[in-house]
Amino acid sequence: MVTGLGLISPVGLDVPTAWANVLAGRSGLRAISLFDPAPFRVQIAGEAWGFTPTDFMTAKEARRADRNVQFAIAAARQALAHAGLAITPANAEAVGVLIGTGAAGIWTYTAQQRVMDEHGPGRISPLLIPMITVDSASVQVSILTGAQGPSFGLASACSTGADALGQAFEIIRRGDADAMLAGGTEAAVTPLGIAGFDQMNALSRRNADPAGASRPFDKDRDGFVLSEGAGVLVLEALEHAQARGAEPLAEVLAYANTSDAAHLTNPDPQARQAARAIARALAKAGLAPADVGYVNAHATSTPLGDVFEVRALRQALGAAAERLPVSATKSITGHMLGAAGAAEAIWTVLALRDQILPPTINYATPDPDCQLDCVPNAARPAAVEVALTNAFGFGGHNSVLALRRWG
């Protein structure tokens, strides 16, 4: 069960603010402010605008954490407060942490590289290594909350957040924890991050129109907009949540993951393994395609990726795909990389709870290869019991979560 939500994002530094902005279709994409973007072809991003670490942690805690870990700490504390879950000596061993990331401590790594280049190896921080590893967010959240259950990090590119939630779900299902703090975090809006993704021709270069740059499923899409943030959810066994009087927000029904095993960056054009991930999630949940009422799409606004996802949905869902609402919230938030799957799971939980579907904004020119109901440009009330959220990552990672409305 999902019992708590925490979020740091370009559209808000807490869940209520961010959800209101998503439903209103207010873009979180602007000109880069974290560094001078003038030398770069790409000058736009989705930053965690206004984020001040000491609003969420002590100055000492902030100094010992890379930016991505600061986001994770903030989101984890929000999620625990939302769930009303206190970690105490009595339950600490039954609460775990699984927060993934793609680029990990890229801010710290590049800053410390400059220190070594300018001042020599003796000036490197003794905390460099623990600050840049993939498990750093999980380690620090575990230390700061006292959670002593299963704790590790994982990385699967843009599928990371969804995989962290899926693996946390499996940990609880097999009885290795009663509750998990799980999700993804990312702080890759750096000079190296922007340059690297741009060299792959993955990013939109609509610098004059940041709010209109991310346009999934639109014929004129030209790449994604890099964003940062963290999404952390509290997952609990139903019995554990009920025993402490918690009210679930949604039920996790199933998780499935497959690999294209095809290319370092490009998806399999036939979308066979992505379709299999969707079909496996449905089968594991005991669902038929017609049972699905909404899909929160991975849809990043890349020419290849959006077509790939539409093909996967049509293969897996058949005729049901033609009438199914499929919205792309990256049109509003940009692509939060390792945090994207967790943020989009949050939107999916809230869509089920509030019975309203977030929109795909910037949809102006239909693409014949992406003809689905993409909830264009405005949120839509809808009666939805079951939803899917997709996450497809560079390297052929395909991850799908199936969620059900609670109550």
Which tokens hold the place of 184? 């993804």
Catalytic residue chosen out of the listed positions 240, 335, 370, 374: 335
Catalytic residue chosen out of the listed positions 298, 370, 374, 397: 298
pLDDT of 128 over the 90 cut: yes
- Whether 298 is catalytic: yes
Q: How confident is the model at residue 326 (pLDDT cuts 50, 70, 90)?
A: very high
Q: How confident is the model at residue 96 (pLDDT cuts 50, 70, 90)?
A: very high
What pLDDT was estimated at residue 267?
Answer: 85
Q: How confident is the model at residue 268 (pLDDT cuts 50, 70, 90)?
A: confident
End-to-end CA distance of the chain: 12
Distances 123 to 32, 130, 289, 336 between C-alpha atoms, Å? 30, 16, 58, 32
What pLDDT was estimated at residue 266?
Answer: 83
Write down the domain spans for the chain. Answer: 2-243, 251-405
pLDDT of 147 over the 90 cut: yes
Q: Tell me, which fold does domain 2-243 have in CATH?
A: Peroxisomal Thiolase; Chain A, domain 1 (3.40.47)
The two domains 2-243 and 251-405 share their CATH topology (first three levels equal): yes
Half-sphere exposure of 116 (CA within 13 A, CB side): 11
Half-sphere exposure of 312 (CA within 13 A, CB side): 33
pLDDT of 265 over the 90 cut: no
Q: For the chain, what is the mean pLDDT? A: 97
- Whether 335 is catalytic: yes
pLDDT of 308 over the 90 cut: yes
Pairing, β 95-100 against β 179-186: parallel
Residue-wise burial string across 303-338, b where 16 or more C-beta atoms lie within 10 A, e elsewhere: eebbbbbbbbbbbbbeeebeebbbbbbbbbbbbbbb
The DSSP H or E segment spanning 316 is helix 303-317
Whether 10 and 46 have beta carbons less than 8 Å apart is answered as yes
Whether 380 and 236 have beta carbons less than 8 Å apart is answered as no
Q: Averaged over 128-148, what is the pLDDT?
A: 97
Range 251-405: architecture per CATH: 3-Layer(aba) Sandwich (3.40)
